[in-house]
Chains A and B, each alone.
Chain A
Amino acid sequence: MSKHPETASGTLLSISDVERVFGGERKLFGGQTPAVHAVQNISLDVRKGETLGVVGESGCGKSTLARLIVGLDSPTGGTIHFDGEDLSELAKTDRRTLARKVQYVFQDPVASLNPRKTIQTILEAPLKHLTKLNKEGRKKRLEELLGAVNLAPEFLERYPHEFSGGQAQRIGIARALAAGPELIVLDEPVSALDVSVQAQVLNLLDDLKNRFGLTYIFISHDLSVVESVSDHVAVMYFGRLAELGPARDIFAKPMHPYTDLLMRSAPAPGRHDLLAEDASAELPDPYNPPPGCAFSARCAYRTEKCLANRPSANETVGCNASHFAACYHPLASA
């Protein structure tokens, strides 16, 4: 499988051929525990200052990928480079250096805050461990952070359960920002929030990105949200990339039948005709993956070829040379 050119200017994060297998350890009395490929053959680049949106159904490996990128987990194959440095190596040897550069915002805003700590203690932790600020400096930075995420300073003394979801997520974002990272991985940052609050948080994220020159990896199952924030989009299916390219191209002219399916299933105000697949359309068995295209069971365009061989991630290249789809019979190919 060919890699994307790693030398591309302005590349901040470069993932090449990354794989994460769970299970598969040798058992005490011979044999192996069953193995699941949570993430497989993923190669993509994230440029400085852009937002990469990652979409896909639950269980397609989005969060596994996110954990690999922030170093909470390490890949069983392939490499991840951040600014030219081997990220997985860094995670093992010097996790604090990595944490200064790459941060994470969690899906469940309340569960990611320790219920027995005040907001002050929670926000001070990264400042204490990741920066060289003294007490005065930390106090100043704390005020800056709260200002940046629009929270009143009196919140510092409170406990997480006293906050609404939207406020808790702002605290999560402030924590991620604390040490001045370059890349923030946002794992479904607005999925647990009401639409009314979702817009607040999305606007805040936009604002912070411009102000601090951040790079985002934005994971979500909600296509409309991803469309509104992303420069590039990666569509994942069953642990692999189904489609990758500039957001505009993907949403205007999806090439992979799966992307198309996702777009047509998304409910929208004023839309009555939802596309519904057959009930038999199920995800393939992860312990027993099909030899060909993983989407073939649900695909209306499949041929013999799809069943026998697996299309590579860049099987089809769109009009735009950076638009790829893992499909033999793409929908809107040039």
Chain B
Amino acid sequence: MAAASGDDRDLIERSRGGDVAAFDLLVRRYEKQVYSTAYRLTGSYDDASDIAQEAFLRAWNNLRSFRGDAAFSTWIFRIATNIFLDERKRARSRPQRSLEDVMALEENMVTRQFEDTGPSPQDRIEMRERQEVLERAILSLPEAQRVMVVLYHTQERSYEEIAEIMNLPMGTVKSRLNRARLALKNRLAPAAELFPVSESPNT
């Protein structure tokens, strides 16, 4: 369990006392992580904005219930992912979009904000293509698995922290993440040539 870093803890203390500027610093420190997470979970910039803003608002309103023994990041990720999961639960009563709909919609959406100055144009096109394929595959996962994949792979959260964020036993997190990766692998196998052979995580 990661405890709040000293700097965060000071800002949280001051925020609890009503210091808006201190909370503003916390928002700026975590906005990119929270927004990115929300975007990866929803595939929509608008939804990501709503979720991320709501998450910070709830955090501010519930600062009193924040336990100092947890990291602020753990807490804010938990709030954001709960907002996402609750919203999806509500949305489930409405007709669900098929994966094809999601994919069709995503075509227009993924063109923004992925500027990367490094690679050559050809590499960049391939990279973009790879990212889009991955994004769509992530969006096809069941919500709870999606949350785990996003937290582990794009936010570099440990199994322990994900277990804490999702309030699940670590064994459950590990086995579900494994299942989610296998599902992604099966879905992406036809496009495997997009993914370069790289040093595997197990060297």
A and B from one complex:
no
Binding site for B on A (CB under 8 A): none
Q: Which B positions have Cβ atoms within 8 angstroms of A? A: none
